[in-house]
Structure 1
Amino acid sequence: MLPTVKSESPELPFELLRDIFELAIATTPGCAVKFALVSSTAQEWIESIIYKTIVLDLPVKKTKLFLQTLESRQPTFFAAKVKNLHVTTFVSFPEVQQILSVCTGLDNLTCWADVQPFNELRPLIPVNRLQKLSIKIETFWGISTGFRYFDAEMFPCLSHLEIVNPPCDDSSLKVDWEGLCKLPKLTHLAIGSLWAITHNHVVEVIRMLLEKSDTLQALLIISMDDDFIELVKEHGLRDNPRVVVMPTFDSFAETEAEYWKAVVQGGPDFWTAADKVVQKQTEEGYQENFIRK
């Protein structure tokens, strides 16, 4: 009589199990919540993936649901889980304040909310650890007069910065643009949306940054204005391989919704697209640091 052989389920290493769950979520993101019900360990893995990148855009219901979740979990949960936060203009300033008060472990922040009088977001933003930031100057520092300064102590880790809708030529808020050259790790800078009728001074700012920055690898000019783009050409700025002109931040995607969907899934963003353009321009023989007057 043959001995009975017990059949046991193989025990896979935790690292392999986690890789399997991550692959499953990447291919079928709609099933993430169901995967989280498998076990407490699986829930921990799935939540780390789900909350790593948060995009709050349309529909507004998405933001409302996230705000409800904020009230149901401990602040430490969001501080540990949320690393990439993208907030568009459809989120109000008070809502952004509430979200940033608990998402304190961010590496990447996009915040396009409109500022409220006598308010600023700077105290709530973890500037000392941020690597990527996209924000309006007025939202960051508040609406005020006088100069605002960038310095290395404020942004020691920042490598990618997008200044959204910069102050106009006649704005009472002045920016020390040269301070950007002091940021030790700044390699990518985007400025936009730019218009010739309101942003003539930005052309000279771009020239100065290209000449003085030792770290800048890509400078994105975001503009749909033919007159502003013509100004850029007249000043010879397009001859620099680091300069990339884009009509909108999501110009390489089919729609804005598709752009954000790709970002959530860890796909390319507009910085990735810009890097490809810079590489191509450099390979085609542009002379770096050359700016024609």
Structure 2
Amino acid sequence: MSLEPDAREVNSRLPHDIERTIFETAIFMHPTCAPSLLQTARRVQSWIEPLVFKTLVLSGRNVDAHLWAALFTKPPAFFAQHTRHVFVGKGLPDDDVQLVVSRCAAAESFVFEAKWRPTTFPDIWRLPQLQRLTLSFRLVRIAAVPGPGSGPAILPNLTHLTLYPAHQTDAESTGRYLAFLAALPRLTHLCVCMVQDEGFLHHILNQCPRLQVLLHVFDAGMYTREDYIRDMAALHDPRCVLLDLTRHYLDWTEWALQDWRLAAAGGVELLARAARFVAGKNGSPEGRLEFLWEDPHRPPEDSDALPVGESVDGASV
């Protein structure tokens, strides 16, 4: 019996360029289907792998087996070539996170979940293309940041940084925060969350000469809305923006994840929207020092959690 396919069967197949478009569209619209689509055929795998691995969400409890195997089996150059955005969730051992960092050497954005509590922080300081970084104040405190004179500038292309809770006000912690910020040669957009120290905000503005936007996001509690407004008003700086995200419950990790997803997809994320607010008020002499901002895309007032997207525990590639 001949193993040659029937001529009618061959002619009934879609052209490869149309097939490829279908699979690429499926990945874009339904990213959680990626692992199963990778098993479809070798040609499909070659088409969609660069898309699948461009943006990685890694959480210790639910990292997809195919993804985790790829981190260990694919050549290091594969992730350096294709991966641009990485979210690191809680539950990953320190060594595994360092492996991810070393594999994704050309990443443009990294987010380290607020609840991730490693004993050591991975060596991200020489990533040449990293432009956006989100991490907690705690991680800055434990990080071994290379000091001046120890080599090339750290994170030479980092322009956007978000530091989320919890900020500590003791002198040692403040010194670590400021040394880290001062060491970033191209930092232009900074978001800090729930800083209850007016003096620290003053130091940021003084030590970051390239800074264009200082966005302060808060969820009021014992330190009230009026306290945050008072501290920001004392700065008298047109670069300052204050955003009230007070909720019954605000999940900082979910908030950061959704904003990171938006930026990775080419959307107008939080710091870009804040920059537009700063640019708009700078065009009005009487409004230059206004800082209270009502972000039109912030979570709705009556929500206990962020309204869109999956939770980080359900995230996948």
Q: 1:229 to 1:121 in 2, by over 3 A?
A: same
Q: What is residue 191 of structure 1 aligned with on the other side?
A: 192
**1:129 and 2:129 correspond:** yes
Q: What is residue 71 of structure 1 aligned with on the other side?
A: 72
Q: What is residue 45 of structure 1 aligned with on the other side?
A: 47
Structure 1: tracts of 5 or more residues without a match: 1-5
Alignment match of 2:209 (pick from 197, 208, 213): 213
Distance of 2:263 and 2:108 partners within structure 1 = 17
Distance of 1:282 and 1:265 partners within structure 2 = 20
**1:274 and 2:264 correspond:** no
- CA drift of 1:137 comes to 5.5
**1:92-142: CA deviations, max 9, x gaps?**
4343233323332322111243241xx3423x5543321111224553573
Q: Count the aligned residue pairs.
A: 270
Output the amino acid matched with 2:229.
E
Aligned partners of 1:53 and 1:85 also within 8 Å? yes
Most deviating of 258-267 and 165-174: 258-267
TM-score calculated relative to the size of structure 2 = 0.64
* Within-5 A mapping of 1:1-293: 18-57=20-59, 60-63=60-63, 65=65, 66-112=67-113, 113-116=116-119, 119-122=120-123, 124-136=124-136, 139=139, 142=142, 153-165=153-165, 168-173=168-173, 174-175=175-176, 177=178, 180=181, 183-194=184-195, 196=196, 199-208=197-206, 213-214=209-210, 216-225=211-220, 226-227=223-224, 228-237=227-236, 240=238, 243-247=241-245, 256=254, 260=258, 263=261, 266-267=264-265, 272-280=269-277, 282-283=279-280, 286-287=284-285, 290=289
Distance of 2:266 and 2:250 partners within structure 1 = 10
**1:224-255: CA deviations, max 9, x gaps?**
13535133343155x7365242538xx999x9
Output the amino acid matched with 2:85.
N
Distance of 2:105 and 2:155 partners within structure 1 = 15
**1:23-76: CA deviations, max 9, x gaps?**
23222334434543454332122111111111124xx43137454543344433
Aligned partners of 1:79 and 1:103 also within 8 Å? yes
Aligned partners of 1:108 and 1:133 also within 8 Å? yes
Distance of 2:78 and 2:201 partners within structure 1 = 44
Aligned partners of 1:51 and 1:81 also within 8 Å? yes
Q: CA RMSD of the aligned region, Å?
A: 4.5
**1:168-227: CA deviations, max 9, x gaps?**
221424137387467453231112242x2xx34322234436xx634x333221221353
Distance of 1:47 and 1:120 partners within structure 2 = 29
Q: 1:29 to 1:291 in 2, by over 3 A?
A: closer
Output the amino acid matched with 2:215.
L
Aligned partners of 2:136 and 2:163 also within 8 Å? yes
- CA drift of 1:157 comes to 1.2
Aligned partners of 1:160 and 1:186 also within 8 Å? yes
- CA drift of 1:82 comes to 2.2
Q: 1:168 to 1:137 in 2, by over 3 A?
A: closer
Structure 2: tracts of 5 or more residues without a match: 1-7, 292-317
- Report the secondary structure of 1:169's partner residue: coil
Q: 1:75 to 1:266 in 2, by over 3 A?
A: same
The structure whose RCO (Cα within 8 Å, separation 6+) is larger is: 2
Among the aligned pairs, what percent are the same residue?
A: 20
Output the amino acid matched with 2:49.
E
Q: 1:17 to 1:283 in 2, by over 3 A?
A: farther
Aligned partners of 1:56 and 1:86 also within 8 Å? yes
Aligned partners of 2:189 and 2:213 also within 8 Å? yes
Distance of 2:260 and 2:25 partners within structure 1 = 15
TM-score calculated relative to the size of structure 1 = 0.68
